[in-house]
Every structure is written in C-alpha cells, then in structure tokens.
Chain A
Amino acid sequence: MMWKAEIKVLLKKSVLDPQGQAVEKALASLGYGNVQDVRIGKYLEVSFAAASQQEAEAQVREMSERLLTNPVIEDYTFELVEV
C-alpha cells in the first residue's frame, strides 16, 4: 500500500517564534489589529510504501522524531492518506 504523510512542524508553545512575531507585527501594521498570534512552521509531504496503516503511522512517528523534527524545540502533527 502507498501512503502520503502530511506532516506539520511547529515550534513548541514554550519556544519564542521570532518569525511569527515579525509577521504578526506586519499584519497589525496592515490594519489587522485583531490578530493575536502567528506561528510559522514547516509542512512536509512524505510518500512511502507500508503494509498497513498501523505500520505507516509508526514509521511517520519514527521518521519525525529521528530526523524531520528537533524534539527539543519542535512539535509535530500529521495526517496519513492512502494513495
């Protein structure tokens, strides 16, 4: 079975996001004074083969924790789609 993992990586809530803050200020200067928070992260699509959904999910977690994210500063979420 072929799968596509759509992985979103964001800085942890406890870690300041200087890019997000700069964009938040830029939005405010454009008149969007109602914007309360901006966080900037990464989006990755990983296509791969795995025998079952369970195996695919386990592999996405392993790849995310070993390489795709730095667990010291980043959190991730993902969605798995069969393709």
Chain B
Amino acid sequence: MKFGVVVFPGSNCDLDAYHLVKDVLGQQADYIWHQEENVSAFDCLILPGGFSYGDYLRCGAIARFSPVMKSVVAFARSGGLVIGICNGFQVLLEAGLLPGALYRNLCLQFRCLFTHLKVENRQTPFTGGIEPGRLLKIPIAHGEGNYYADADTLRRMEANGQIVFRYATADGEVTDTANPNGSLYNIAGVCNEMKNVLGMMPHPERAGEAALGSEDGRLIFQSILKSWEGSR
C-alpha cells in the first residue's frame, strides 16, 4: 500500500507519520509537497500535524487553499482514504471535508499528554481492525483542539456513526475529567458520511512503537491496511 504524507510549510509531524508507515509497518510512502497537484499515485493520504502557515488567521485556514488541496478534495470525494491528524484535522475541517470546527482549548493551555480513546464506530476503514471494547492510548499535543458543531450537525453525525473517537478515562468512561480540551461530547475524532475521511486530534503516529510509550496508534494504520487489502 502506498501512503502519501502531505507537507505544508510548517508541518512538523510529517517525518513521524512517514516513519510509522514506512519503517514500522513496512509500506511504501512518499512526501507530497503542498505545491504538488497530482495525488493519484497514492492509496491513502495523511495530512500530518504541525503549524501549517504558522496557524495564521485560523489553524488550517490558509493551508486549505494550498495547490495540493484541490486534488486532496477530489481524491476524498472519489472515495480515497484520507486521515488528518491534529493540524491535518483542522485543515480537513476548513476544507469542508469534515463537519464542525476546532478552536481554542477551553482550559486555554496547550495540552501535551496521553489520552485514552473510546472507539465509538468500528465500521470505518480506520477502526475496522480494533477489537470491541479496546481503548486506545494515544497522546495529544495541541492548543486548539476544542471540537464544536451545532446541535443539528451533532445529531446527524451521531445517527450516521461519524463520531469515531471520544476521550475517556483509563477505564473507558467518557467523563468531563477525561476531556482535555472542552470538546463537545468529548469528541476526539470524526469521519465524513462516506467514512473514507477521518480527522483526529490525538497523534497515532506518535504511538506506534513500545519505546514511545504506546503501540496503539498502529491499530489505526493496520485497520487502514486491512480495509485497503479487502477492497482490492
């Protein structure tokens, strides 16, 4: 399987994402510079974390108009797998590929810590390989991860199974104390209606090896592989 890691000026988790899919999972991978206009060589696109365009104006607001984004949108609309992590999630929201918005953490602090994620929908290409009840220990590192969508949108998302991950305690309870940033309903990750585009604030690429404190992030990428192999 061939992964493409989109690189905007200011991306800083691109190497981590590349390392995980290439070195840890042994797949093909290439960087895609933001000026690139063709992404057809790839099976899955990763929009990594960082501070694209310095987070000027709003996180992801300027990256969303990068030349590469036209083809990312077309790739996603035609069913291609796209995963946006942290700043990549913000870019996907600004691009209108996912519903809602992310803004300043309720606590106003930059939060950098391990979180536990409850998997709310295992019927997606990103979670299909995760066994029922399995919590994912994956770190966050962000100042603007407070998820918001209006009540109608949230209801629709809930009904469509678009809420994929919620912040939970180590026991799997979705509580206010487990919520690191004020996100509505503890939302940590969402997908589009077609389920081929995922955005999440936690960093699975930083949790792919035992030396990093958790290997749970691998489960997401192994799910992607499984789904891709199943679709061939």
Q: Which residue numbers of A lie inside 8 Å of B, CB to CB?
A: 11, 14-16, 18-19, 22, 67-68, 70, 72-73
CB distance from B115 to the nearest CB of A (A): 19
Give Cα distance in the complex from A68 to B103, angstroms. 15
CB distance from B186 to the nearest CB of A (A): 15
CB<8 Å pairs between A and B, sample of 5: A18-B146, A68-B57, A70-B101, A72-B93, A72-B101
Given contacts A67-B61, A70-B58, contact A18 B148 (CB under 8 A): no
CB pair A70–B94 under 8 Å, yes or no, is yes
Give Cα distance in the complex from A22 to B108, angstroms. 9
Chain B contact residues: helix, strand, loop or mixed: loop
The proximity string for B residues 36-80 relative to A, scoring 1 for CB distances below 8 Å and 0 otherwise, is 000000000000000000000110010001000000000000000
CB pair B94–A18 under 8 Å, yes or no, is no
CB distance from B90 to the nearest CB of A (A): 10
CB distance from B182 to the nearest CB of A (A): 7
List of B residues within 8 angstroms of A67 by Cβ: 57, 61, 65
CB pair B104–A70 under 8 Å, yes or no, is no
CB distance from B138 to the nearest CB of A (A): 24
CB pair B106–A16 under 8 Å, yes or no, is yes
CB distance from A22 to the nearest CB of B (A): 6
The residue among A67, A68, A72, A73 with the most chain B CB atoms within 10 A of its own CB is A72
Which residues from 119 to 168 on chain B have a C-beta closer than 8 Å to any C-beta of chain A? 146, 148-150
List of B residues within 8 angstroms of A18 by Cβ: 104-108, 146, 182
List of A residues within 8 angstroms of B103 by Cβ: 11, 15, 73
The residue among A11, A15, A18 with the most chain B CB atoms within 10 A of its own CB is A18
Smallest CB gap from B59: residue in A: A70
List of A residues within 8 angstroms of B100 by Cβ: 72
Given contacts A67-B61, A67-B65, contact A14 B105 (CB under 8 A): no
